[in-house]
Amino acid sequence: MTIRPITEDDLHGFIDHALDAKRHAEVQTYLEAHPDVLARIARYTDQRDWLRAALAPIAEEPIPSRLNVSRLLRRQRQPLRITRATAIAAALAFMMIGGVGGWIFRGTESLPATGITALGREASESYSVFATDRVRPVEMQAGERNQLINWVSGFLGRTLTIPDLSASGYNYMGGRVVATSEGPAALLLYDNGKGSRLAMLARPMADAREAPMAAVSDKGVNGYAWANEGIGYSLVGAMAADNLHSIANEARRQINRT
C-alpha cells in the first residue's frame, strides 16, 4: 500500500495534534527517515511549548471584577430595554416629522449629544486624529506656549491655562486649534515618553456653562469632561477612564486656581 505524500500542512498538523492516529503515525515514520525535517519540526514544537508556557500565567490570574459576567448581564439587561425603546421612539418620531427614508438604526449613538457629552466626543475625535499623528500632531510646540495662549484666548474669552501634568509623567507636547460644533477649540497634547498620549480640549460652552466632572467615552477613547465659567474642558486618552481620573482632577485644580 502506498502512503500519500507528506505535506507541509501534515507537518503542522503533527505539531498541533490535529491529525488522526493513522496519519500521525505516517508522519512519524517519515520524520524518522528525514532527520533534517525532524530537526525543523522539533524546533517548531519547542517553540509552541515555550510560547504556551510563557503566556500561561496570564490565564492563571484572577479575573478582574470589571469582567464579572453576571454583573455585566444584570447591568446590560436593564438599560438594554430602555435604550432600544428610546431609540425606536426616536426613530418613529423622526419618520413622522420628516418622512425620513434613510434613517439608519444606530442605537443611542445617533441621538445628538449636547453639553459635556458632545465635548467629550469631540475630544475623542480630535485625539483619534491628532494624538496618533506621527508627522505633525501639534501646530505649536511646547516652546511656543505663549503664542498658543494668545491665539486661543481670543475665542475662549479668557486666558487659557495649560495644565502641567508632568507629575503624572505626561509632558506638554504642544497644541493646535481644531473645529468643533461650537466653533474653534484649543487642543493640547501630552506625551509620557512611553508611547502613551493624552489630549485636552477646551472650548466655549453655549448650553452648559457649568458642569461637574463626568466620565466620557467614544470608540475606545476615554476620559473626563467638565465645564467651568462657560469654558468646557475634556481630558481623554486611549486607556481606561479610571487611569485618567486623578490627572483630570489635577488639570481642573490648576485651571481653577488661575
Partner 1 sequence: MSDILQLIEPLLPALRRYARALLRDRTQADDLVQDTLERAVSHWDQRRTDRDTRAWLFAILHNLAMTRLRRAYTTSHLSIDEVAEGAFSSAPSQEQGMRYRELLKALARLPEDQRAVLLLVGVEDLSYADAARVLDIPLGTVMSRLSRARERLAKEMDSDGLSRQAGSHLRRVK
Among 28, 29, 110, 132, binds partner 1 (CB under 8 A): 132
The footprint of partner 1 on this chain (CB under 8 A) covers a number of residues equal to 50
Among 29, 76, 150, 246, binds partner 1 (CB under 8 A): 76
* Residue 169 found at the interface with partner 1 (CB under 8 A): no
Among 25, 29, 35, 80, binds partner 1 (CB under 8 A): 80
Among 1, 21, 33, 67, binds partner 1 (CB under 8 A): 67
Among 1, 21, 33, 54, binds partner 1 (CB under 8 A): 54
The least CB distance from residue 202 to partner 1, in Å, is: 23
The least CB distance from residue 221 to partner 1, in Å, is: 9
Specify the stretch interacting with partner 1 by CB under 8 A; choose among 27-35, 54-62, 148-156, 163-171: 54-62
Contact 132, 211 (CB under 8 A): no
Among 46, 109, 207, 229, binds partner 1 (CB under 8 A): 46
Contact 160, 186 (CB under 8 A): yes
* Residue 12 found at the interface with partner 1 (CB under 8 A): yes
DSSP secondary structure code for residue 230 in this structure: T
Q: Cell 443611542 belongs to which residue?
A: 108
- Give residues with Cβ within 8 angstroms of 235, minimum separation 6: 123, 198, 199, 200, 223, 224, 225, 244, 247, 248, 251
Residue 192 in grid coordinates: 509620557
Contact 165, 250 (CB under 8 A): yes
* Residue 220 found at the interface with partner 1 (CB under 8 A): yes
Q: CB burial class (10 A; 0-12, 13-18, 19+) of residue 244? A: buried
| C-beta of 2 vs 70, nearer to partner 1 | 70
Site for partner 1 in 137-156 (CB under 8 A): none
* Residue 88 found at the interface with partner 1 (CB under 8 A): no
The whole-angstrom separation of Cα 145 and Cα 193 is 19
Among 30, 44, 103, 155, binds partner 1 (CB under 8 A): 44
Count the Cβ atoms, other than its own, within 10 Å of residue 78.
Answer: 9
The whole-angstrom separation of Cα 186 and Cα 150 is 11
